[in-house]
Amino acid sequence: MVFLSSPFLLPAVSKAQLQRLCSVLWDWKICPGCESGRGCEMPGDCSWPRSGRLARFFEFYREVTLAYVPELHPGCQPALRGHDDVLDIIETLKANAEKPRAQLTKDYFTTRDKNGSTALPPPTDQNRAFNIAVKIMTTLSCCAKDQPSSLLESGIMPLHWADSISLKHFVSDAFPRANHCKFDEKAMQPAVAARMLQKVAGLRIEPTDDLRNHLKIDHDRGTVEIFHLTGFLKEHLMATRSKTGQSKAAIPRALALETLNSLQDVLFPSDDRSQSLLRSLISRSSFDPDCANFESAPYRIDEDGNGNTYASWDSRLADLYDAIENPQPRGLLEKWFERRSGARYVMMATLIGVIIAIVLGVLGLAVAIFQAWVAYQQWKHPLFPPM
C-alpha cells in the first residue's frame, strides 16, 4: 500500500470552493458579481457578504482537509481527489441523513466513477473521507468500525459511527438531552460566568473546534473548553429557520441555539468585565472574533421562545457551577487543606493571619533589639564625654 501526503491531493482551497461550501452547508445564494470577484451586485439578497464572520470556520475547514492522508492500493484513486469530492460527500450526507453509513458510503463510491476505469478506494480510505465530511458539517470527530487510525488523525478520541446508524441518529446520540434539570437557570446562571471560572475556580479557558467538548472541564489540567465558532452556529440557525431547513440540518437547531445562548447569556454576559475578558480571549487565545457580535434577531424564530433552556448542556453547566462553589485546590499550599471551599479558605485565612503576626512580631523584636544596641553604644561611647 502507498501513502501520499495530503498537499499533493488537497491543495489550497479556492474562493469558489469556499463559496460552494457555504452553498452546500447553508443553501447560500451568491450573486454573479461575488462569484467573479467584481463586487456584490445584489446587496441584501446575496449571502457572500456574510462570509467575513466565517474566517475562523474557513481556517477550521483548511485544517481538517489538510490532515487527510490517503491510503492507496495499486490501480486505486484516493477517496478524496480534491475539495470538490469533499463537497460532493457533504451534499450526499445532507440529502441522505437517514440512510445507514455503510449503505451511504457504498452507494456514493460505486456511482462516483460511472465508467469503472479505476478500482474503488480501500474501505478504510472511504471511511476516512466520510469522517472528514462529517467533521466539517458538525465539527465532530468520528470513526468507523475497526478504524484505529482516526485517533491519530483527529488528535482526540473520536466517536464511533456504526455502519448501521444514520448520520441523523449518530448526531442525536452524541448529544443526549437531559430528562431532568440539574442547572437552575435563575439561581445558577448569574454565578456561572467565564470570569468567575477564572477568578474563583482557577480554570484556564481554552477554545475548542469540537462541539462535543463545549463546557468540558479537565480538572487535572485546570482547564475548561469553550466552543467558539459562533459564525458557524449563526449560519446554521439562519439556515434552519424554516421547517425544510430544519429537516436537512446536520445538527439539531435546539443544540445550536443552546450553545450560542450559553456563550452570550451565561459565560459572557453584557457586563464590562465579561466583555473585557472575551476581547482578551479573542486577541490572545485564538477565539473566533465573531464571538463579540451579539446580534440575535436575524436567526431567531417565534418557535424558539423567549426563555433559554439548556437540555443539551445541563449537566456540564451544573458542573461549572459546582466548580465555582467548591473550587479544587490548584497550588501547593491549597492542596494542604480540605477540598471543601468554605473550610479550606477559613483555614487558609487563619494560617495567613498567624504567619503575618509572626513576621510582624519578629520584625518588631528585631527593631527593638537594634534600638537597644544603638542606645547601649551611645551610652558606652558618648559623642561628648563628660568633662
Q: Dihedrals φ, ψ of 180, to 5°?
A: -140, 150
Mean pLDDT of 346-350: 76
- What confidence category does residue 209 fall into, taking pLDDT thresholds of 50, 70 and 90? very high
DSSP class of residue 271 equals S
In the predicted model, what is the mean pLDDT of the chain? 85
- What confidence category does residue 116 fall into, taking pLDDT thresholds of 50, 70 and 90? low
CA distances (Å), origin 244, targets 248, 249, 384:
7, 9, 105
Mean pLDDT of 193-202: 92
Mean pLDDT of 11-38: 94
**Cβ contacts of residue 361 below 8 Å, gap of 6+?**
none
H helices of 200-340, in order, are 230-239, 243-247, 253-261, 272-284, 314-325
Mean pLDDT of 327-353: 65
What's this model's pTM, rounded to 2 decimal places?
Answer: 0.81
pLDDT of residue 2: 42
Question: Is the model more confident about 186 or about 341?
Answer: 186
Q: Are 183 and 310 in contact (CB under 8 A)?
A: yes
Least confident of 53-57, 100-104, 202-206, 376-380: 376-380
- What confidence category does residue 331 fall into, taking pLDDT thresholds of 50, 70 and 90? low
pLDDT of residue 1: 41
pLDDT of residue 22: 96
pLDDT > 50? residue 7: no
Mean pLDDT of 370-374: 83
- How confident is the model over 173-183, as pLDDT tens digits? 999 887 777 78
| Residue with cell string 444514520 | 166
Mean pLDDT of 191-219: 94
pLDDT > 50? residue 36: yes
Share above pLDDT 70 across residues of the chain, in percent, rounded to a whole number: 87
pLDDT of residue 307: 57
Mean pLDDT of 297-323: 84
pLDDT of residue 313: 93
pLDDT > 80? residue 3: no
Question: Is the model more confident about 190 or about 24?
Answer: 24
Mean pLDDT of 197-201: 92
**Cβ contacts of residue 56 below 8 Å, gap of 6+?**
228, 229, 231, 288, 289, 290
**Cβ contacts of residue 315 below 8 Å, gap of 6+?**
178, 182, 183
> At what angle are helices 55-66 and 15-26 packed, to 10 degrees?
100
Least confident of 22-36, 156-170, 366-380: 366-380
pLDDT > 90? residue 171: yes
- How confident is the model over 225-283, as pLDDT tens digits? 999 999 999 999 999 988 888 888 899 999 999 999 999 989 999 899 999 999 999 99
